[in-house]
Structures are given as C-alpha cells and as structure tokens.
Amino acid sequence: MEENCGEQPNSEQEFGSLNGKFQNEQELLKAYQNLEKEFTKKSQELSSLKKQNDAKNSLNDELFFGEKWASDVEKFLLENPKAKNHAVEISNLLIEDKELKNTKNPLQSAWQIWLTKNFKEQEDYLQDESFLEKVCQNNQVKNRVISCYLSEINKRDNTPPILKNSLVGGNLKSRKTTTLEEAKELAKKIFNK
C-alpha cells in the first residue's frame, strides 16, 4: 500500500475501488446528479412542510393567545362553570382536533365532545365503585337513606313495638332509669303497648 502513495491511480482502479458500483466516470457522474436531484426535491418538500407548520402555528397563536381568546374562555367558563374542572381535557381536544378550531365556538364544541364521551346513564353509576364510595361518604345521602329505612320500618305492621318506639319517633332514649324498679316499669310500658 505504501508503494502507491505517490502514484496516481488510473480510472479503472479508482472506480473499481467503489465496490464495483460504477464502471466508469459517466456512471458516477450520473449517480451523483440523481442524488443531487433527490436531495433538492427532499429539501423543497421539507421547506413546504415547514411553511405549512408555521402557518398552522400562526393560526393557533391567533386563536389561542389573542385577547379575543382570553375573553372567549372567560365567557365560556361563566356559562359552563363545571367545564373548569376539565380544562386540560378540553384543551387537549382543541389541540388534537384541527377541525374544532374552525367551528363557530370551539370551546363549546370541545366541551360537548367531552361530555358525550364521558356520559353515563344512571344505571352505570350504580356499578361505579368510586362513585358509590363518594355517595356513601356524603352526610346528606346518609341521612336520607337512614330516614327512608326508618320510615319503612315504621310502616310495617310486624315490627316489634320496641323497635318502632326506639327507632322512629319514640322517646325511649330520653327515658333514663336509675334503679332496677324504674327499669322494670319502663319495660312493662314498652312491651304492653
């Protein structure tokens, strides 16, 4: 290899060293020109896509960052206060769905889509453990369930009087006895009713 350092290789040796792809200088030149054309074509496509993307971003900036947008958001949240809890989901819908941006009211449209996707029938809630857990922790619901239950007990004819008096409207709790004799008299009153 050191022997050839000062010598100029001939054409066949030079092109043969490229794994036999090019037989002569003309083929190499033609391949280079084709590569150059393809590179130019790809560069133009990339430039076109960049311009389209810049135009879309500009449209997004106008839609999402202008003063009108801030005013629209404020108005929308006043009209739909529960939507505030789902602002991230609504924003994601607006970002992902390019057609929503072109609707008359993009926020309202995105909110409607979110509501539709997350709609549940009443029966579905009865199968939702997290919903039932929240319901069971609510004092208003607890009081209502207990009230309905006690009302049903009071309506039954076969309910023992001691349960009726002690559970619904009876004043058994207010009767305190201090002696065994008082307890005996109280028991007679309860069971003889």
CA distances from 93 to 63, 97, 181 (A): 14, 6, 75
State the Cα torsion 19-23-28-29 to the nearest 10°.
180
The model's pTM is: 0.41
Domain boundaries along the sequence of the chain: 12-42, 63-119, 125-192
Residue 193: predicted pLDDT: 59
The DSSP line for 14-39 is: HHHTTTT--SSHHHHHHHHHHHHHHH
Q: How high is the pLDDT of residue 91?
A: 87
> pLDDT tens digits for the chain (193 residues)?
444 555 555 544 544 555 677 788 888 888 889 889 998 988 888 888 887 776 665 555 555 667 788 888 899 999 999 999 999 999 888 888 878 878 888 999 999 999 999 888 888 888 888 888 888 888 888 888 888 887 777 776 565 665 555 544 444 455 567 788 888 888 888 777 5
Q: Please report the pLDDT score of residue 167 as a whole number.
A: 47
